[in-house]
Amino acid sequence: MSEDLPQEHQPTATQPNADLAAWLAVAAGTLGAFMAMLDISVVNSALPTIQGEIGATQSEGTWVSTAYLVAEIVVIPLTAWLERLLGLRLFLMAASLMFIGFSMLCGIAADLQTMIIGRVGQGLAGGALVPTALSIIARRLPPHQQAMGMALFASAIIVGPVVGPLLGGWLTENVSWHYAFFMNLPICVALMVLLVVGLPADKGNWGELREADWAGIVGMALALGGLTVLLEEGHREQWFSSSLIRGLAGVTLVGAVLVTWGQMRAKRPVMRLSLLADPSLAAVNGLMMTAGALMFSSMFAVPQFLASIAHYNAIQSGQVISVAGVTAIVGAAIYPVLVARLDIRLLVGMAFLVQSSAAYLATHLSAASDGGVFMVTMMLLGAGMTMAALPLQQVALSSVDEENSGDASSLYVVARNLGASIGLAAVASFQDQRLDVHHWQLNAALAANDPAVQQSLAQRAASYGGGPEGLEAAYRALDGQVMLDAVVMSFNDVFLALAVLTLLVAPLALLLKPIDPARAGGMAH
């Protein structure tokens, strides 16, 4: 009877293992994904230096990071269509060459405009490298070896953003910020060599240009680009009190209408949103949005706390964050054994409980806290993120046939990036709101006629030389202490909110479809 089954349902013993060329193709995809994820955060620690050298203000300098993210999320939904149009190998070679060119442009940039053009080009190329890595795993590895490919991929996309600030800080301090971009040259050269050797040439279909879902293509660019910039700039622009934000909301709405039109009228939409009718795939994307929000929000909040409260520099903060990368790699190594023995729903549910616990451990911060307080949080976050991302990737790909694997990959990566953008915007607004609340609550608790308060002010005033000037300085010092405590309390609230959110979405794991035993079990033998 087994001879009548489709190949992916054949017993594992009858399936040949992937050859060396296939693994070289997987290595190419993993390397490309790592580079794309690394370049999201590698400039963060170097940003103050870059701003000074290219003549940008702090507000303008944020676009060095934002431009990359906006371009990346715009191109991700188009990757499946571009794969069909150009062929996978040609598409990846073109993306790699493009990444090299724009990385060099960033490295030699002497003004903000050139830097932003370079970062947009990097983002367009980098956005193509992440979902195509998943496509390579789905196409080049037999089902029973895909868990190993997923482990390599997950290590790349989790470790990249984690080590980025540490690497960028080290290069800036010891060499030059320019090399945060120049280092991409040897990586891209190695990537292209692996692509030539490991990925067979496949013909593109230029007929896709005639049959393309142009409404969906334009709509995706407008909707995702507009929404990402809205989320990035909303907090700084006071949200809808700003004409810029209202304009971006209009652009996003127009894009959404065009995408909807394309979904209804196109023979093959640019990205099959209809796939989300599958409850399992919808749950994958909901869980991944939350995981992306948690990961990027934590990677933002922890360095912010260490810089503002513990006075860590970029390298010291990067060292703390890198702990998550170490446990992520360990988690990826043991994942194939776990997935062969545990129900996928149990594994994902446990991973989200671990991540929720990691965030909760960071809810007891004080003004005396330093990097050591975050060590266990980072260890659990890295392990939990890997144990969530890996099975979610497998469920996403196993929920569709090979023809739709590119669309499923794009949906998965878009969910992660949208979660990151929404999470970062929400954290910034929530923290500011909680900071105001705590600041006024603490001030209200300091009654002016309280003997203890009066005594403290008198002692502080005396230490500043007495008189009206000393008393004024004492009031400023007291308000500074109150503000410091309010900032710490606002960070505690942020981590508590992340812990609760992660816990609330964990039950979505019950909707996941079990992975075919051929896909999950082969690694454990």
Instruction: State the CATH number of the domain containing residue 418.
Output: 1.20.1250.20
Residue 201 per-residue DSSP state: -
What is the reported pLDDT for 449?
55
Mean pLDDT over each residue of the chain, to the nearest integer: 82
pLDDT band at 9 (very low <50, low <70, confident <90, very high): very low
> What local confidence, expressed as pLDDT, does residue 144 receive?
77
Least confident of 9-13, 267-271, 334-338: 9-13
**Claim to verify: residue 187 and residue 288 sit in the same structural domain:** no
Last residue of a domain, one of 176, 194, 210: 210
Question: Does residue 10 carry a pLDDT above 50?
Answer: no
Note the helical H segments in 362-515.
375-398, 405-445, 451-463, 467-505
How many angstroms separate the first and last alpha carbons of the chain? Answer: 24
Instruction: Show Cβ contacts of residue 463 under 8 Å, excluding neighbours closer than 6 positions.
Output: 470, 474
325 in the same domain as 252: no
Average of per-residue pLDDT across 390-418: 80
The pLDDT tens digits of the residues spanning 462-472 come to 666 666 666 56
Residue 437 CA to residue 92 CA, distance in Å, equals 50
pLDDT greater than 90 at residue 359:
yes
Give the pLDDT score at 287. Answer: 93
Q: What is the mean pLDDT of residues 267-286?
A: 86
* pLDDT for res 365: 92
- pLDDT for 2: 38
Residue 499 has pLDDT above 90, yes or no: yes
CB 412 within 8 A of CB 157: no
**Total domain count for the chain?**
3
- Output the six-digit token pair for 29: 């995809």
Minimum mean pLDDT range among 92-106, 112-126, 162-176 = 162-176
Count of other CB atoms within 10 angstroms of residue 113: 11
Q: Do residues 303 and 425 both lie within one domain?
A: yes
Contacts of 138 (CB under 8 A, 6+ apart): 146, 397, 402, 405, 409
Residues 454 and 373 placed together within one structural domain of the fold: yes
Average pLDDT of the segment spanning 20-31: 89
The amino acid occupying position 321 is I
3-class SS shares of the chain: helix, strand, coil, % to 5? 85, 0, 15
**Judgement on whether residues 178 and 322 belong to the same structural domain of the protein:** no
Q: 2 in a domain, yes or no?
A: no
| Residues listed for the chain | 525
| Measured distance CA(78)–CA(413) in Å, rounded | 12
The arithmetic mean of pLDDT across residues 137-155, rounded, is: 80
* pLDDT value at 11 more than 50: no
**235 belongs to a structural domain:** yes
Asked if residue 7 is part of any domain, the answer here is: no
Instruction: Tell which of 210, 243, 261 closes a domain.
Output: 210
Q: Please indicate, yes or no, if residue 4 is contained in any of the structural domains.
A: no
The proportion of the chain whose per-residue pLDDT surpasses 90, expressed as a percent, equals 21
On whether both 223 and 136 belong to a single domain, the answer is no
Tokens representing 387 are 């144990």
Higher pLDDT, 99 or 131: 99
Instruction: Give the separation between CA 84 and CA 56, rounded to whole angstroms.
Output: 40
Dihedral sign, CA of 508, 513, 518, 521? positive
State which of 269, 293, 316 marks the end of a domain.
269
pTM of the entire predicted model: 0.76
Same domain, 349 and 403: yes
Structure letter (DSSP) for residue 310? S
Q: What is the pLDDT of residue 166?
A: 79
State the CB neighbour count (10 A cutoff) for residue 524. 13
Q: For residue 11, tell me if it sits in a domain.
A: no
pLDDT of residue 5 exceeding 80, the answer is no
Q: What is the pLDDT of residues 156-207, one digit of tens each?
A: 877 787 788 778 878 887 888 899 899 999 989 998 999 888 888 888 788 7
Cα separation of 370 and 372, whole Å? 6
Task: Return phi, psi of residue 367, to 5°.
Answer: -65, -15
**Domain assignment present for 424:** yes
- Asked if residue 197 belongs to a domain, the reply is yes
Same domain, 200 and 224: no
* Residue 260 located in a structural domain: yes
Regarding whether 319 and 300 lie in a shared domain, the answer is: yes
Q: Which range has the worst mean pLDDT, 110-124, 190-204, 273-287, 467-481?
A: 467-481
| Maximum alpha-carbon separation in the chain | 96
* CA–CA distance, 334 with 287 (Å, rounded to integer): 21
**Distance between CA atoms of residues 348 and 77, nearest Å:** 25
Q: What is the pLDDT confidence band of residue 8, given thresholds at 50, 70 and 90?
A: very low
pLDDT given at position 64: 79
Q: Work out the pLDDT band at 7, boundaries 50, 70, 90.
A: very low
pLDDT reported for residue 441:
81
Q: In terms of domains, do 239 and 110 share one? A: no
Do 336 and 229 reside in the same domain of the chain? no
Q: Cα separation of 41 and 443, whole Å?
A: 37
Decide: helix, strand or coil at residue 267.
coil
**What is the residue range of 258's domain?**
213-269
Angle between helix 214-234 and 243-265 (nearest 10):
150
Chain-centroid distance, C-alpha 165: 14
Tell me what the mean pLDDT of segment 258-274 comes to. 84
Residue 352 has pLDDT above 60, yes or no: yes
CB atoms within 10 A of CB 381: 31
From 267-281, 287-301, 442-456, the region with the lowest mean pLDDT: 442-456
HSE-up (13 A, CA, CB side) for residue 430 = 18
Q: Which of 59-73, 133-147, 440-454 has the weakest average pLDDT?
A: 440-454
140 and 177, same domain (yes or no) = yes
Q: Give Cβ neighbours of residue 75 (< 8 Å, ≥ 6 apart).
A: 123, 124, 127, 128
